[in-house]
């Protein structure tokens, strides 16, 4: 549904070519926003690798050559996921560059151009509080951006509200799951990108004007579910 809630607001989204980022971009456009996407995938957006300082500076310069103010920044780009067995030093640094350093530096580049009522959203992950084996690079980056969120919220008090969202299992193809994949989740289903986009737009709206420095986990309740072998039908087969 198209509305004018964000009419003529300038919105920056990293990693906006696919999945959650694309959905967020589409939803902002549907509400009248002027959206700038940067992604390393080729397409009708600014193409570049946000791990590189010069790319971020060039992207910011292009946006600011057209607009004096920025209303929303969504740091969504996906860090590399590799584990301690195979992840090299360089790969781990790359994951942190994309997942933590780039969000920090992008905010710094736009900081003096934030509009009144500006909002910054950092996309973290439920992996910022729980893990599977061999996910160290991704998990470290997501934990970092979650902590960066409350630091920025305090530093930018009075200039911007800063919040993070931690998605759980989100199927970016909008697949419908049945059986244990769905029923294991207290909400009864796997998530989709609109579950995240809806929260992003809410947090960027005036309705969320008293919310800053917060992390909101959108995972269908999975991280709140206590699991023990033999309890409530859960069984460890090893």
Query: Residue 237 falls within a domain, yes or no?
Result: no
238 occurs within a structural domain: no
Report d(CA 68, CA 178) in Å as an integer: 48
Domain of 125, CATH number, reads 3.40.50.720
Q: Answer whether residue 3 is part of any domain.
A: no
**Predicted local distance difference test score (pLDDT) of residue 1:** 61
Provide the token pair at 189.
Answer: 């289903």
The partner residues of 39 in beta bridges, in order of sequence, read 47
Q: What is the mean pLDDT of each run of 10 residues along the chain (238 residues)?
A: 86 98 98 98 97 98 98 98 98 98 98 98 95 96 97 98 97 94 92 98 98 97 86 76
Instruction: Specify if 212 maps to a domain.
Output: yes
* Count of helix runs (H) and strand runs (E) in the chain: 7, 7
Total number of domains constituting the chain:
1
Residue 191 covered by a domain: yes
DSSP code of residue 52: S
CA 99 to CA 83: how far, in whole Å? 16
Domain extent, residue 68, equals: 10-224
The Cα angle at residue 145 between residues 77 and 55, in degrees rounded to 5? 45
Q: What is the CA radius of gyration of the chain?
A: 18
Neighbour tally for 6: CB within 10 Å: 22
Decide: 5 and 205 in contact? Cβ < 8 Å.
yes
What's residue 37's pLDDT?
98
Which H/E stretch holds residue 62? Answer: helix 53-64
The predicted pLDDT at position 118 comes to 98
Q: Exposed e or buried b for every residue in 114-123, given b needs 16+ CB within 10 A?
A: bbeebbbbbb
Residue 189 forms part of a structural domain: yes
Whether 138 sits among the annotated catalytic residues: the reply is yes
Strands 160-167 and 114-123: parallel
1 in a structural domain: no
pLDDT on residue 236: 77
Q: Output the six-digit token pair for 46.
A: 């600014």
Confidence (pTM): 0.95
What CA–CA distances, in Å, run from 39 to 36, 176, 207, 213?
10, 27, 30, 26
Catalytic residue from among 138, 174, 177, 228: 138
Q: Would strands 10-14 and 70-75 be described as parallel, antiparallel, or unpaired?
A: parallel
Q: Is residue 235 part of a domain?
A: no
């Amino acid at each position: 549904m198209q509305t004018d809630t964000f009419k003529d607001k300038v919105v920056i989204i990293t990693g906006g070519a696919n999945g959650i980022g694309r959905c967020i971009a589409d939803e902002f456009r549907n509400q009248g926003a002027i959206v700038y996407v940067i992604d390393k995938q080729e397409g009708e957006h600014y193409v570049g690798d946000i791990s590189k300082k010069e790319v971020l500076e060039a992207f910011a310069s292009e946006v600011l050559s057209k607009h004096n103010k920025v209303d929303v920044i969504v740091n969504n780009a996906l860090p590399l996921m590799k584990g301690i067995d195979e992840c090299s030093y360089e790969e781990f640094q790359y994951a942190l560059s994309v997942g933590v350093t780039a969000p920090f530096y992008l905010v710094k580049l736009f900081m003096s151009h934030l509009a009144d009522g500006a909002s910054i959203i950092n996309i973290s992950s439920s992996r910022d509080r729980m893990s599977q084996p061999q996910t160290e690079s991704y998990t470290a980056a997501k934990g970092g951006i979650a902590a960066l969120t409350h630091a920025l919220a305090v530093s930018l008090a009075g200039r911007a509200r800063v919040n993070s969202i931690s998605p759980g299992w989100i199927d970016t193809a909008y697949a419908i799951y049945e059986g244990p994949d769905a029923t294991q989740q207290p909400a009864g289903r796997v998530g989709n990108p609109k579950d995240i986009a809806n929260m992003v737009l809410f947090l960027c709206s005036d309705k969320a004007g008293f919310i800053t420095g917060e992390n909101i986990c959108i995972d269908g309740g999975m991280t709140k579910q206590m699991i023990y072998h033999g309890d409530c039908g859960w069984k460890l087969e090893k």
